Chain A
Amino acid sequence: MSMIERLRNVALWIDERLYISRIFAATAGHHVPRSSSSWFYVFGSGTLLCFMVQIVTGICLALVYQPTAGQAYTSLEYLNYQQHLGWFLRAMHNWGSNFMVAIMLLHLAQVFLFGAFKYPRELTWISGVVLLLCTLGMAFTGQVLRFDQDAYWGLGIGAAMAGRVPIFGPAIVHMMLGGPIIAGATLSRFFTLHVFVIPGTIIAIVSMHLRLVLTKGINEYPVPGKPVVKETYIEDYEAEIKKAGVPFFPKAISKDLVFSGLVLMGIVFCAAYFGPAGPHGVPDPGQINTAPKPDFFFLWLYAVLSLMPDYLETVLILTVPFIAIIILFAVPFISNTGEKSARRRPIAVLSVLGIFAVLASFNYLGRFAPWSPKMDAWTSATLPANYLEGRAPLERQGAVVFHSKQCINCHSVGGAGGLRGPTLEGVATRLTSDQLVRQVIQGSGNMPAYGKNLSPAEVAAVVSFMQTLHKPSEAPARDATQSALAQK
């Protein structure tokens, strides 16, 4: 008996007892519509692959990582600099999560545009929404496990949002932080969520998601003008499978395999090229010179929070997420039958484009954060020399006040300074000197009143500086009544 034959006999012996080949035939070998072997159908398996990368790299990281507030940061540094290949595993875990969120969003958009949520696949969609929420939960809890300044203050932001809930606010904050304040217990519970609770839930729901793909079949490639009719759909689908079905393995899986291979190479390449993320700064609450910013999954939220009107803020924070989640869950019931093809569903296409455009713009804005003052502009930004050349001493004095009283943290001149307030470029053409004085002393809306904090001499100096801020070709603003009175 040759070696191969012996191995074959061992395999057959095991299969006789475990029925592996039968399970395989009933799952990977199940018949799918020939049309579903498409490049558009690869994102689901791509997301699953990322999840597997996260499990493997996550287990590796847990071998070294210390989930205590006192040592988490040190263990991350150890992983980065001392543990053999620790930096690479951290980078793979980070990029695996980036790829997972990105491919999952593509999967979501694809199944939405292809009408895959319609009868009889409502539960497949619903379980997918749960998986989306779980993945975002993993992203947030994972960011906390990278226990640095961003994580510490990110928890504070989460608590500040939860603390706006009426009546139950304090209890929710207490539950979230594991105590009255951010401390060791907070990290422990985020660790438990990130490593046990949410991954366990994901594994269970993914099983259900895949089971539904087997019981209700994969969505056929939609054909315009062929709407879903409840009475006939299942019959038609089964007839199509009988007529032109192909086994998923080996006939339809090839594109998934190619895409998965590319994703895996993408993760490895990004991890090797860009390296791990952070940790940024020791999580010492006393180090307050920090401007916390979330990872890109939540950057849009950070932008939304700073751009919405103050008086609506609490209401929007507490209602919009729930409304959005309810709408997501309700999609298969809002439109249960009818056209599947995106060519016949203009509103669906526009919604997807709109949502992606809005999220992308908010994320873009979030990177630059024009609403944040530049906290160090008053010591680090330099005014271009032509703003000082040929100026009178009082005007130059005003430029010093403009710097030293931190006006420049929010207002820019000559490209230097913050973007929180309007640029003072050309302000002399917009406001007269009286209006400038009033604005400085009283402030308004988004500007603090400087009346108490500037001496009259400093106000005079900074206003005379601002009056020089106009183009040579444009005359400064003047008060017509004043000049008329002067002529009399």
Chain B
Amino acid sequence: MAVRELDTQVKTTPGVLHEELPRRAFLLKLGFLLNGIAGVFVGVPVLGYLFSSFRTTGPFKSWVPLGPITSFPENKTSLAKYQNPNTRPWDGQTTDIPCWVRRMEGEKFQIFAINCTHLGCPVRWFEQSHLFMCPCHGGAFYEDGSHASGPPPRGLYEYKYKIENGQLWVEGGQLPTLSQPLS
């Protein structure tokens, strides 16, 4: 459209050589084409950068040490922290991820994510009533992590763990959600 308008304008303007017309139309097309190609060269890296998180599809979880198993007394549930394995230097305190470690008899453990399965608030352990309670909407879980009451749709998220040379390891590094629980 623009090209045609330009053409008629040029045609009706006296003193313009006719040889110029095809060259102008060609230049305009060339201009669009060049910018289109350049746009792809700019756009692809920008989009690739923006959505880079989709390229690195994990696994984001890796084995992280929680400390010697002797630091967790038997038949007790205690708060522990592990270092986020995918950390960056400016992460600050957000690298310390808390979790609840329940040691049963011997070398049997249960490691629960801190996040309530309802909306992710940090659940607290009550030694006296053997319950995890959530401060947000009142979800409660039994000591084995199963759902006791309130709005949560399932029991607490449970980490995979392993014991090597007396050290407790946890497979951490990902925020558990209903569509992506830990195991």
> Would B178 and A164 count as touching, CB distance under 8 A?
yes
Interchain CB contact (< 8 A) of B94 among A69, A306, A314, A409: A69
Determine if B84 and A183 form an interchain contact, defined as CB atoms under 8 angstroms apart: yes
Q: Are B174 and A181 in contact (CB under 8 A)?
A: yes
Give the residues from 273 to 304 in chain A that come closer than 8 angstroms, CB to CB, to chain B: 282-286, 288-292
Complex contacts, A450 vs chain B, CB 8 Å: 129
A371 adjacent to B130 (CB under 8 Å): no
A184-B86 contact, Cβ under 8 Å, with A156-B115, A286-B98: no
Known: A70-B93, A288-B122. A372 touches B148 (CB 8 A): no
Q: Is the CB of B137 within 8 A of A371?
A: yes
Chief secondary structure at chain B's binding surface: loop
- Is B98's CB under 8 angstroms from A288's CB? yes
Separation in Å of the B89 CB from the closest CB of chain A? 8
B43 at the A interface (CB under 8 A): no
Among A103-111, A170-178, A214-222, A333-341, the stretch that binds chain B is: A170-178
Is the C-beta of A120 less than 8 angstroms from some C-beta in chain B?
no
**If A163-B177, A285-B114 touch, does A153 touch B121 (CB 8 Å cutoff)?**
yes
Q: In the assembly, what is the distance between CA of A447 and CA of B126, in Å? A: 15
Residue of B nearest to A307 (CB): B137
**Is B178 a contact partner of A372 (Cβ separation < 8 A)?**
no
Tally of contact residues, A, Cβ under 8 A: 70
Contact across chains for A164 and B177 when beta carbons are under 8 A apart: yes
Asked, given contacts A170-B180, A184-B91, whether A286 binds B84 with beta carbons under 8 Å apart, the answer is no
Contacts of B156 in A (CB 8 A): none
Is the beta-carbon distance between A373 and B138 smaller than 8 angstroms? yes
Report which of B96, B120, B128 forms a contact with A156, defined as CB distance below 8 A: B120
Query: Is A153 a contact partner of B124 (Cβ separation < 8 A)?
Result: no
Assess whether B175 is in contact with A282, with CB atoms less than 8 Å apart: no
A178 and B136 contact, Cβ closer than 8 Å, known pairs A156-B175, A159-B120, A288-B79: no
Interface residues of A (CB under 8 A from B): 68-73, 152-153, 156-157, 159-167, 169-171, 173-175, 177-185, 282-286, 288-292, 305-306, 310, 313-314, 371-373, 375, 378, 404-407, 409-410, 420, 443, 445-450, 452-453
